[in-house]
Amino acid sequence: MTVSLLIFLPLLAAIALLFIKGNAVKNVALLFGLAELALGLYFLSQFKSDANLQFVTDVAWMPKMGIYFTAAIDGINIIPILLTVVLVPLIIGTTFKHEYKNPSVFYALILFMQFGLLLVFTAFDAFLFYVGWEVALIPIYFICGMWGGENRIKVTLKFFIYTFAGSLFMLLAILYLYQQTPDRTFDIHKFYALNLTVKQQSWVFAAFLLAFAIKMPIFPLHTWQPDTYTEAPAAGTMLLSGIMLKMGIYGAIRWMIPVAPIGFYEYQNNPLWLAIAGIVYASIIAFKQTDGKRLIAYSSIAHVGLIAAGLLAWNMQGLQGAMIQMFNHGLEVVGIFFIIDIIQRQLNTRNVTDLGGIAKVAPHLAIAFLIIVLGSVGLPLTNGFIGEFLLLNGVYRYNMWMGIVAGLTIILGAVYMLRYYKNVMQGSTNTLTATITDITMSEKLILGVICVLVIVIGVYPQPLMHLSEQAVNVLMNEVNGKISTELLHARPTPGM
C-alpha cells in the first residue's frame, strides 16, 4: 500500500460531500475524517522507525519538465502526518453544535485542506510540495472569508497577501534550484546534492526563510495571525493554529536547511534571535489581551517561536524537541480554542471581563480546561514538558544567553495562561456565567481524547520521539557534514 491512498482519500471525500445536502453532511464528513484517521493509524502500525522512505509513490506527472508525483513517509514527516489525521476529525466534531450556510461546501473545504496539508508533508518533489502549499491555502481563505466575523474580508485579504507573497519567494528559490540540477528535476535528493556557492545558498536560504517564517509565523512577520485567528470561524482557527502553521516548521526542517546548509550556517543567528524576540514580545502582548482568541493567538506565536528557535539551533535536542512539540502544540491549541468556542457559543462573549466562576456550574469543562492549560505551560508529566525541555536544552547548548531568554516563554506563559484560567473559571459566577451548562457527551469525548493524549504523551513520550529519532539524526549528520566540508575548504592552507 502506498501513501497515495492516504493523500487522495480526503480529496475524494471533499468531492463527495458537495453532493450531500442538509445536516447529514456533518456525519458523512466525520466518517471520512475517521476513515482517514484509521488509515493513518494503519500506516503507523506498519511504519519502521528508521531513516528510509516508506510507502513510496513515484509516478511520472510531467516527466518532460522533470516533475514527478513522488511522495512517501519517513521519520521526519510521520509526526505532522499523524497530527493532521488526528486533528481533522476532532475539528469536524467541534462543529456539530454550529449551523453553517452551505454546510456541504464548508466541510468539503476542510477535507480539501487536509488533502493539501498531506501533500505538503509527504512530497519529495519540490513542484509537488509547492502545489500542496498553495492547495492548503485556498480552502482556509474561503473558510475564513465566507464564515468569519464582521471584519473577515479585510483580515482574510491581509492573510492571503502575506502568505501568497512568501510563497512566491519560495517558488523562485525552487525554480532556481531546478535550473541548477544537471538533469532538470525537482527531486529533493537532487536538490540536496547540489554544490552551490555560499552566495547562492544564502539567497536560497533567505527565500525559503521568508515563506516559512510568514507561515509559522516568526516576529516581525506575525501581524496577520492575531486578526485572522480572531475573525476566522472556530474550525478555521483550529485548522490554522493546530496544523497549518506546522507547514512552516516542517518546511524549514525538510527543505530550507538541508538544501542550503551553508546559507543557514552563515545567517543562523539572525532568524534565531528573531524567533526568541517573538517569544518575549508575544508573551508581553498576551498579558494585555481580554479577548480569549487573541490571547491564545499571541500565546501561539510565543510557543512557535520556541519551536523555531529549537530547530534553528540545529542540534539533536532542539530538533527532536521541534518534532515532538509540533504535535503537542497542535493538540493543546485545538483543545483551548474548542473550549473558548463552547463558552462563546453559550454566552456570546469571549471577553475575560465578562466571565468568571464557570467551574462552579460547568465542572467537567473546568477540569478539561485545566489539564490542557497545564500541558500548554509545560507542567511535568504533561506533553508540553518534554517538548519544551528539549527545545530549551537545544537552544541553551547553542548559546547560553539565548537559552536563558528563550526560557522566559515558560515563566511568562505560565503566568498569563493560569491567570486567564483563573479569571474565566474561578471566582464567583455572575448573571451571565450562571446560565452556562456543562459540556455534552460529544464535547466530553473530544476534550477527553485531547486530555488523555496530553497526559499519556507527558508520562511516556518515548514512542512519539522514537518515530523521528533515527531520521532526525541522519538528516542532521548530513547537513553538519556539508557544513564541515565547506569550512574545511574555506580554511587557509598553513604557510600560505
- Residue 159 in any domain: the answer is no
What are the tens digits of pLDDT across the range 270-316? 999 999 998 888 888 988 888 888 899 899 888 889 999 999 998 99
- Residue 202 in any domain: the answer is no
Q: Using CA atoms, how far apart are residues 157 and 261, in angstroms rounded to an integer?
A: 34
- Residue 105 in any domain: the answer is no
Domain assignment of residue 425, given as a range: 277-459
- Residue 423 in any domain: the answer is yes
Average pLDDT over residues 389-395: 92
Give helix 316-347 / helix 441-459 axis angle, nearest 10°.
160
Q: Which amino acid is at 52?
A: N
Q: Using CA atoms, how far apart are residues 112 and 108, in angstroms rounded to an integer?
A: 6
Q: What total number of domains does the chain contain?
A: 1
- Residue 448 in any domain: the answer is yes
Q: Using CA atoms, how far apart are residues 133 and 111, in angstroms rounded to an integer?
A: 15
> 3-state secondary structure string, 398-465?
HCHHHHHHHCHHHHHHHHHHHHHHHHHHCCCCCCCHHHCCCCCHHHHHHHHHHHHHHHHHHHCCHHHH
Q: Using 50, 70 and 90 to split pLDDT, how confident is the model at 494? A: very low
Q: Give 178's contacts (C-beta < 8 A, 6+ positions apart).
A: 66, 126, 184, 185, 186
- Residue 124 in any domain: the answer is no
What are the tens digits of pLDDT across the range 420-433? 999 999 888 888 88
Longest dimension (CA), the chain: 84
Q: Which of 28, 432, 95, 63 is nearest to 236 (CA)?
A: 95
Q: Using CA atoms, how far apart are residues 219 and 237, in angstroms rounded to an integer?
A: 20
Average pLDDT over residues 448-470: 92
- Residue 14 in any domain: the answer is no
Residue 249 contacts residue 322 (beta carbons within 8 Å): yes
Which residues are registered as beta bridge partners of 123?
71
- Residue 357 in any domain: the answer is yes
What are the tens digits of pLDDT across the range 234-253? 898 899 889 988 999 999 99
